Amino acid sequence: MADVKVPVLGESITEATLGEWLKKPGDAVKLDEPIASLETDKVSVEVPSPVAGVMGDQLVKVGDTVAVGAVIATVGEGGGAAAAAPASAPAAPAPVATGEQAGPGEQVRERGADAAALSPSVRRAVLETGVDPSTVQGTGKDGRLTKDDVVAAAAAKPAAAPAAAPAPAPAASTSGGRKEERVRMTRLRQTVAKRLKEAQNTAAMLTTFNDVDMTEVIAARTKYKDLFEKKHGVRLGFMGFFVKAAVQALRDIPSVNASIDGEEIVYHDYADISVAVSAPQGLVVPVIRDAQSLSVAGIEKTIGDFGKRAKDGTLKMEEMKGGTFTISNGGVFGSLMSTPIINPPQSAVLGLHRIEDRPVVRDGQIVVRPMMYLALSYDHRLIDGREAVTFLVALKNAIEDPTRLLIDL
């Protein structure tokens, strides 16, 4: 028997929560095949099998907290799938007999070697939607299945609805009883809640607003998006413009890019921009390193990669540490205006919102323009109102006249 231990999870991280068992006792496992998924403060981490053989005892339950180095399961060393065949043989007729009654969890396991290719977020989507992953064509790298593939497959099977309609389950809800469900907070959600509350308790937080006319940026994107994608292999979005504009404004107003450490102010001559990305387990904030040295194409490629890997649950811990300034785009979800909360130890966060046609006055005439509200939340202990407003105005000027980004104004 070989012990399965919690691997080293990263600097200063000493424990995690068991999020999901990917193998059950008696299942065949290969060397380095994932058998469990752990939830840390920031990302999901898969625990590989140390040997090839048969899954043995599971020593902890889903939801339990486990320390680095702790033994969570055992694997019987042997011939891998061949060794597991006798153990699983008695159970083989059951799936054949039950046929369509097999649940999505069983469908994931029945894929055998392919199950190792499913990320935690995809497995969760399979369990929630009941989609058979073996029937879905993956669109990810090397044909891997993504969460979006599973969701799309679930939406595209209306035939399943009539079959479920005759079920008597809905009748139970007509009793008028009120139901509650208690779900344990994920480790990520606990950490987010703790850090955001600490920011409110520590920083003298204030938010200032401005709006920006997106006409010129939209025109530039429309004109060059096809050529941009053809040359760089990535779509031209608005975040590339905003990150470039923010980097330029941070250089002019260095206190917005600084942080407080005890009784000292730490100024950074680089811009590591944290970008808020939505993931299945919650919001994550990976960092674009040295954004001041990247082109718009480099920024867009980095953000696109972060977004894809956030959905797959494959972001690394070190990719979410050390940012100096954060940009959060709530506009993709339809937000009109918000007051974002600082990401400690940073001193400021920029909130972007949805683009909306609004009447504005230009040259004495009322015209309709695509407008966006900008919000800068900042730590008033370090950043004065004058500096905050100056930063937003510099950002606004760069977005309304993108040529400024080219000639460094």
Domains of the chain listed by start with CATH number: 1-91 (2.40.50.100), 100-157 (no CATH), 187-407 (3.30.559.10)
Quickly state the pLDDT bin for 79 (edges 50, 70, 90).
low
Evaluate if residue 91 carries a pLDDT over 80.
Answer: no
C-alpha dihedral, 45 to 50 to 56 to 61, nearest 10° = -20
The predicted-structure confidence for 207-229, as pLDDT tens digits, reads as follows: 999 999 999 999 999 999 999 99
Q: Contact at 8 Å (CB) between 388 and 257?
A: no
Instruction: Fill in the amino acid letter for 55.
Output: M
Rg (CA), the chain: 25
**Cα(277)–Cα(43) distance, rounded to whole angstroms?**
12
**Cα(250)–Cα(383) distance, rounded to whole angstroms?**
12
pTM of the full predicted structure? 0.61
Q: In the structure encoding, which two tokens stand for residue 236, read together?
A: 């031209």
Element spanning 206, H or E: strand 205-213
- DSSP 3-state assignment of 5? strand
**Cα(206)–Cα(88) distance, rounded to whole angstroms?**
61
Read off the DSSP letter of residue 362. E
- DSSP 3-state assignment of 376? strand
Closest to 291 in 3D by CA, of 353, 340, 349, 245: 245
Closest to 140 in 3D by CA, of 131, 152, 148: 148
C-alpha dihedral, 106 to 107 to 110 to 113, nearest 10° = -120
Max avg pLDDT among 99-103, 106-110, 316-320: 316-320
**Cα(335)–Cα(355) distance, rounded to whole angstroms?**
9
Q: In the structure encoding, which two tokens stand for residue 239, read together?
A: 């975040």
The predicted-structure confidence for 133-163, as pLDDT tens digits, reads as follows: 778 877 766 677 777 777 778 777 654 444 4
pLDDT for res 193: 80
Please list the alpha-helical segments (H only) found in 1-141: 81-88, 93-98, 104-110, 120-129
State the catalytic residues.
Answer: 380, 384
Max avg pLDDT among 50-64, 129-143, 365-379: 365-379
Rounded mean pLDDT, 320-342: 90
